[in-house]
Amino acid sequence: MNHPNRALDVFGCGLDGVNLIEASAGTGKTWNICGLYLRLLLERGLEAREILVVTFTNAATAELRERIRTRIAETLDCLRGRAPAGDPFVPRLLEAVQANCGRTRGEMAERLEAALGCFDEAAICTIHGFCQRALADTPLAAGLPYGLELIEDDAELRHEAVADFWRREVAGAQSDPDLAAWLAEKKDSPEKWARLLKRLQAKPLSLSIWPEGLDAPVQALRPALDAAFAAARGIWQRDRTGAVQTLAEGLPSLRGNSYDQPRLDRSALAWDAWLASGNPLQEDIDKKGKPELFAAGNLEHRKKSKKTPPQHAFFDAAQDLVSLRQRSLEQLARLRLRLLRCMAGEAGKQLRAKKRARRVVAFDDILYNAWDALCNGARPWLAGALRKRYPAALIDEFQDTDPLQCAIFMALYDAAGEGGARGPLFLVGDPKQAIYSFRNADLHTYLNAKARAQDHHTLAANQRSTGGLIEACNTLFAANPGGFILPGIAYRQVSLGDKSRPSFVDESEDGVCGAPLRLWRLPKKNGLYLQRDRAQGLSVQATAGEISRLLGEGQAGRIKLADRPLRAGDIAVLVRSHKQGGWIKQALALLGIGSVELSQQSIFVSRDAEDLEQVLAAILEPARQARLLAALATELMGASAAEIEAVSRDDAALTYWTARFGELRRTWLARGFGFMLRRWMDEAGVSRRLLARADGERRLTNLLHLGELLHRASTEHPAPDALARWLATQRAEAAAGEEAQVRLESDRNLVQIVTIHKAKGLEYGIVFCPFLWDGYQRTRGEPDAVEYHDEHGNGVIDFRPEASKDVALKRRRREESAAEDIRLAYVALTRAVQRCYLIAGCYLYRSGRGEPSPKQSTRSLLNWLAAGGGLQYAAWQRQKLATATIEQAWQGIADAAKHCIRLTDLPQARGAPLAVPAASPESLNALPPPEHIDPGWRIGSFTALAHGAEHESAASDHDARAVAPAERVAPEDLPAHDILRFPRGARAGDCVHAMFERADFTNASAWDDAIARALAIHPQRNASGAALKLQREMLRGLLEDVLAAQLPEGIVLGKLLANRRLNELGFSVPAAGLNPARLNAWLKANKYPMPRLTFEALQGYLKGYIDCVFEHGGRYYVLDWKSNHLGFAREDYAARSVAAAMQEHGYHLQYLLYSVAVHRYLRRRLANYDYEKHFGGALYLFVRGVRPGWRDAKGAPLGTWFHRPPAATLATLDALLGGQPKAIAA
């Protein structure tokens, strides 16, 4: 359907149907979305929660939400009598609404007040957020379980599913050894196949094309192949000389372009190697020569006309062997593809099953589940239900959509609604800025949606750049009307918008044209163009030099932006890659100019991630010399080649480093990853070493970022080897979620080096584009399958071997790639507000062994924009345009807009270092210290209150701070396996806690596993051999005694089922202004003996982890395991000793806080909760003294403390934590 493009009148356009708005760069897209949103509120009477607004990132969502809220507030203020600001938005909106539907100002104010009051419910979200919300509200309708947890990355689950398939189908006992060897030759692995599965699942609507005949029966070729190999080897061994001589003598009868003596010699050597290998399927023989030159069939095919080819028995045997080998390899390739197809189906299903079983969902699953629920036909009413909830939708950045997302929106809004009309749906985007194909954004989907839209609008008034820069871009992109290559995308002239721009004054170039677009032409030297690498170096040098000049003139007051001197932060250098950014950063540093890099690159593909992985591998296995030396060779450790060689030759040095890394491993096991990382950084001087580098801030930021991500992941992967596997998976997958994007290393006022992908949506005063001239076209690595779009714009993933060689497909894929590169250039050239520097022209490039040629540059995409007018892109790639013609085209562009475009040769002089004015000592004054520093919001815990430490960690022994009593000698008659002989201290306590946490109290057969696991996670000192066996016996005895003992309230833990207890129950209790004076007063008033508390006042949360909460007889109890060693005698665990320990260590406060947390938890979870009925109390077990036979004279068990705070007492503590200072005693 052909639609005219009309300029959008946001206050007068219709609000029905499916509308496409093409918004060129800087044309006020958000301004117009706000206008449409408020019109839907006021004219259609929709509520804020009924208007769906979707964009594609969380940051964009937050910005759009704030902009819309602000517009509502501004309009409401105007309706209440406040004069509007200079922006015409509000007056035009009010005038239009009155004209369009006759709403009175009072009615409009009422609607906007309602919208502002419930704006927190506004449906402004990302596409994933919308689909998640839709599915969460209708899980049964979507066929999904309740309570799915969102995971950002499902790489581990995907790897599990693929690894299961690999073990079953590839590594199993029934697998074909030839196929297994073929897979190894192809470097297949579960990791590689998991990446392929990810690729397929990311594009579920793409058509997968597999070769025909994949399911053909497998032929038993190996016996015949072995026989042919043996026959050929036998003849070769008997008469190699005769076979070679016969072929050499027959060369005159064979075609010279296929046969000559050097080729014959190489082929004979290839036969030597092949037949000596004993492997008929030897893979690399073709690299050594062409064995088929000796085959009878090839000799017959390559003979000269009317000539007879040479004859020899080996030639016939070679023909049989070569043919059988080829058939075998083709069959193996077919079987491999069959396995891949099977893996894609089976592992995909298993992955979905794993996610359902674990009740998790990933981002891609959210979209797929929403599409499936809407489009599979099983729930035809669901689209209507969602459309009724969201009657109108505005989709921002629609050029970045993909087929799945587009299908969801079209299912909701492209069909007739209750009134018989489509929409209202507004699709807002700019196809010229579609640059995210690597994220599976699909421009062809946009173009297909464009064809389905009922009305097309454009935004053509640029609100960003100055008039001169707008005219310069209009001139540049008008030079080639087909410059964007793909049909359906064209550059439309834009005009100067009404928005005011900051003033820009440049008085540094007297008498020189102040053109906003500076074209730098690549120069010649001695009449010859520069080599590509030399041109890159000069481009970097010229860019850095001009930045230094601009900043120097700014310091001198001759260049001003917004009435102030030009600053480094006003300047951006746009690059394609981190490598290019590194060149610019280094060049700027040489001139004394600081810079900062902004990129969407994943932190996991950085050099620092690779180095950290090497270091962690050495920490995990310090005894492996290769890993140890590799870690020392990293830039993090900083050892030189000479130092590494010296260590490798010195046993004492090796022993030293092995011990150091071994101690780090023990720290990791005992204290966790975060503590170990900090210890390593401190001991190895990592921060100091990195900061001494020119890029030190960048490198240290990366390392700390990786440490944070690993520390967070360690909660799910506490075992060191599991965490190392997690890191390896993230690096293999190049995980690139928002959390994994490289962070800003500094917020100082620095020159910004930005990748073009990251720069989209941003603007800068002055922009440099130093690398757009480069004609080298990057090729996408697509193993196993090629991706392209068919003639209808639908995605295809083609696994046919011939697809990678198809000339038409190659051309189509090359054009798609080139079209995206052109769009990247458009994004780069439209970021500037005041001035843009662009380097263009021709250069030389040596391809292979040939002479350097300008061919690559004359076919570059930037030159295509300038000189490709009137040509199809395919013809441009074949043309042999003279460099003079290219230069004339650039000169013509400059001449067409002389006052806007200035064309000069690239400056070749080195830039002058920037002089940074030093502050005089007299100007430096220390700020007066504040009278009071508010401690601010923070997290505290029992440990922090009682001991001034930071918050607790899960599964840590809370007795670790207890001071051990003076060491006493164990009685001689105390059995060796008695738990009283078990080690003491924090490590021992952690081990005891871990055992109780992992043990199933009612299943004694599993206790040994729990004990072994606890000792493995928390190994005790000198525990090996007989000592380790004895420790296991001690813990077994402890477990048997504690679980068999009868405790207060008739509790026997050995009868407690696993589903009646919660281990390590975490809690966060709000604490409003809790201070030690009030808490000490409360404890004293309620007669709880405690050491005096001296913690810093807490405004925030009390956080902690309760060892165990269990249910017994309908009541819920707090249970804390205490591993304190109170002595070796039975009486050391009597009530008086236990009471003393409770008071000394402040445990009364601990169980009171735990009781408040459980009280609040039960109050929210139990229907008709009653403290007196449901809360049982707090039970503290000093486990070394808890035994079935150890009871006092009254029959009470030793080693126990039990208390149930009165309800009124607990209520006053609850109130005190909640900020009610008068709550003291009950």
Q: Which residues are catalytic?
A: 1120
Distance of CA 431 to the CA centre of its chain: 25
**Alpha carbon of 603 to those of 158, 317, 595, 708, 1105: distances in Å?**
21, 56, 19, 12, 32
d(CA 1057, CA 217): 55
Tell me the three-class secondary structure of 874-934, residue by residue. Answer: HHHHHCCCCHHHHHHHHHHHHHHCCCCEEEEECCCCCCCCCCCCCCCHHHCCCCCCCCCCC
d(CA 258, CA 251): 10
**Alpha carbon of 788 to those of 74, 780, 1153: distances in Å?**
48, 11, 62
d(CA 227, CA 205): 47
Q: Which residue, 1180, 1157, 1179, 1146, is CA-closest to 1103?
A: 1157
Q: Which two tokens stand for residue 1042?
A: 């504690």
d(CA 964, CA 165): 53
Where b means 16+ CB within 10 Å and e means fewer, 429-461 reads bbbbbbbbbeebbbbbbbbbbbeebbbbbbbbb
Rounded to a whole number of angstroms, the CA Rg of the chain reads 37
Pairing of strands 18-23, 524-525: unpaired
C-alpha torsion sign, points 89, 92, 94, 96: negative
Angle (CA) 182-184-187 rounded to 5° is 115
Pairing of strands 1098-1112, 1115-1122: antiparallel
First to last CA, the chain: 79
Q: Which two tokens stand for residue 483?
A: 């410059």
d(CA 818, CA 290): 37
Strands, E, within 512-629: which ranges? 517-521, 524-525, 528-529, 559-561, 564-565, 571-575, 595-598
The residue length of the chain stands at: 1226
Helical (H) or strand (E) element with 767: strand 764-769
d(CA 440, CA 549): 41
Q: Which residue, 203, 256, 215, is CA-closest to 788?
A: 203
Q: Which residue, 1036, 1043, 1041, is CA-closest to 1002?
A: 1043
Tell me the three-class secondary structure of 813-861, residue by residue. Answer: HHHHHHHHHHHHHHHHHCCEEEEEEEEECCCEECCCCCCCECHHHHCCH
Categorise residue 1089: left if φ over 0, alpha if ψ from -120 to 50, beta otherwise: beta
C-alpha torsion sign, points 778, 780, 781, 783: negative
Peptide bond into 424 cis (omega under 30): yes
d(CA 68, CA 38): 8
**Alpha carbon of 1002 to those of 655, 1052, 1061, 1076, 1183: distances in Å?**
47, 11, 12, 43, 18
CB 991 within 8 A of CB 960: no
Q: Which residue, 1220, 943, 957, 959, is CA-closest to 1103?
A: 943
d(CA 192, CA 171): 15
**Alpha carbon of 625 to those of 622, 639, 667: distances in Å?**
7, 15, 20
